[in-house]
Amino acid sequence: MLNTQKRLKLQHFLTIKNLQNEQVNSLIERAEYFKAGGKVLNYEQPVYAVNMFFENSTRTHCSFEMAERKLGIETIPFDPAASSVKKGETLYDTLLALNSIGVELAVIRHPHNEYYRKLVNLSAAQKLNIGIINAGDGSGQHPSQSLLDMMTIHEQFGGFKRLKVAIIGDLTNSRVARSNMRLLKQLGAEVYFSGPEYWYSQEFAEYGTYGKVDDLLDQMDVVMLLRVQHERHQQETAFSTERYHQQYGLTLERYERLKKQAIIMHPGPINRGVELASELVEASQSRFTTQMQNGVFMRMAMIEAVVEGRNLGGKR
């Protein structure tokens, strides 16, 4: 199987903000090639990576690790709780240590927005030389989730132009929503927002329109539900899961009103019975498991772009 398209080459993969449409399409094509069983490049020399997750994760962490293994990359184990970060070592100094012992790529999830700035804007005197792949920064960006979502939509509809996509739920705290609203608009989709008005902000108005769940659902091609992120709420007043589900969630009754070709998506982890009825997680119009499956292939494409951009692995 051939994949002849010119591949993306990057020093770091930090955000979707600078990606051109043709670069997004190139990543989707490469990920679809991997999914179809396309061969990976054979690196002449080993490439060493580390996955550093300072926030909990199941699918992003494990699928980056799976992607690394499929690419033939050696992964060095790193557990923040057992590391010298606990003795006060900074993120920069931790990476300087890992880089000094031979690590060339770091996949990082961190609670601070744009934690990576200090790692990539270096003075001439600084010796850090490591490719950073952002696995989620605070409420900032989640590039790999966003790109695997675009792959999943592309797989279903073959493109993005004029698709109607509703992003529903905890918008304020969602790095997935921030990444997706921008990329979807850029790719030509029509973005709508819904959920509690107190989680909608005017900063989103440049990307789409806010509407009530019941006014939107039957017109949408894609219904993207967001997890209620209790851990990021400063002062949460009594939250009723049942009330949220009835007012804003995808209930069985609302599911029946979706267009037959519409898909439902959720980045995970899901609060069953809150954002959507538990029975809908694996329903025929749900793409929840497809998203997680696609995540491995998209992350392979992203890692490969940084390996290529930094000329790692010797000749191929």
Task: Point out which residues bind ligand CP (CB under 6 A).
Answer: 57-61, 136, 145, 267-269
Pairwise CA distance, residues 33 & 189, whole Å: 24
- Cα torsion at 7, 100, 68, 147 (round to 10°)? -50
Pairwise CA distance, residues 9 & 13, whole Å: 10
Minimum CB distance to ligand CP smaller for 42 or for 58: 58
- The answer to whether 173 touches 229, Cβ cutoff 8 Å, is yes
3-state SS class at 100: helix
Q: What is the nearest approach in angstroms of ligand CP to the Cβ of residue 174?
A: 10
Minimum CB distance to ligand CP smaller for 60 or for 194: 60
- DSSP assignment, residue 38? P
Q: What is the nearest approach in angstroms of ligand CP to the Cβ of residue 161?
A: 26
Minimum CB distance to ligand CP smaller for 69 or for 243: 69
Query: Of 186, 199, 192, nearest to 233 (Cα)?
Result: 199
- The answer to whether 193 touches 208, Cβ cutoff 8 Å, is yes
Minimum CB distance to ligand CP smaller for 26 or for 145: 145
Which amino acid belongs to residue 23?
Q
Task: Match 């970060």 to its residue by tokens.
Answer: 85
- DSSP assignment, residue 196? -
Minimum CB distance to ligand CP smaller for 52 or for 312: 52
Q: What is the nearest approach in angstroms of ligand CP to the Cβ of residue 56?
A: 6
Comparing every residue's Cβ against ligand CP, the nearest one is: 60
Q: What is the nearest approach in angstroms of ligand CP to the Cβ of residue 47?
A: 23
Q: What is the nearest approach in angstroms of ligand CP to the Cβ of residue 229?
A: 10
